[in-house]
A = this chain, B = another copy of it.
């Protein structure tokens, strides 16, 4: 029986105000710098709950650290992420859904699920790199 607490609300708001993926550590540091007394464990718990409630997405960084981002659209989607600045855009992936289902079936696999993330340099960072 989940209860609403001011801490959960604060974490949720902090995450929503960020458009990009962010780690629990980072989010906690930001909240702390803004004067919040919320504990790190609470940040982790809240983020985990948001993911379970399909209100946020989780992603593993190359380092193995979990990153979180508030969902800006409902339903199944994927991410296009700038590996320089972190800017993230949500993308639909019907083509990949179909492909994954087909490939799985061809190999006799059932209950297919897929992990698909696209990284690159966003327009802004691409332009900066060229200069």
Q: Which A residues lie at the B interface, using CB under 8 A?
A: 60, 64-66, 80, 82-83, 89, 91, 93, 95-96, 99-100, 103-104, 107-123, 126
Please give, as numbers and ranges, the residues of chain B lying within 8 Å of A117 by CB-CB distance. 114-115
Which listed residue (B89, B93, B104, B120) contacts A111, Cβ 8 A? Answer: B120
Q: A44 → chain B, closest Cβ, in Å?
A: 13
Please give, as numbers and ranges, the residues of chain B lying within 8 Å of A100 by CB-CB distance. 118
Given contacts A60-B60, A104-B120, contact A80 B93 (CB under 8 A): no
Instruction: Pick the 6 closest A-B CB pairs, nearest first.
Output: A108-B123, A109-B120, A112-B120, A110-B126, A64-B64, A115-B117
Given contacts A80-B103, A96-B99, contact A119 B113 (CB under 8 A): yes
Report which residue of A64, A107, A113 has the largest number of chain B beta carbons within 10 angstroms of its beta carbon: A107
Given contacts A114-B117, A116-B116, contact A109 B126 (CB under 8 A): yes
Given contacts A104-B118, A115-B117, contact A99 B109 (CB under 8 A): no
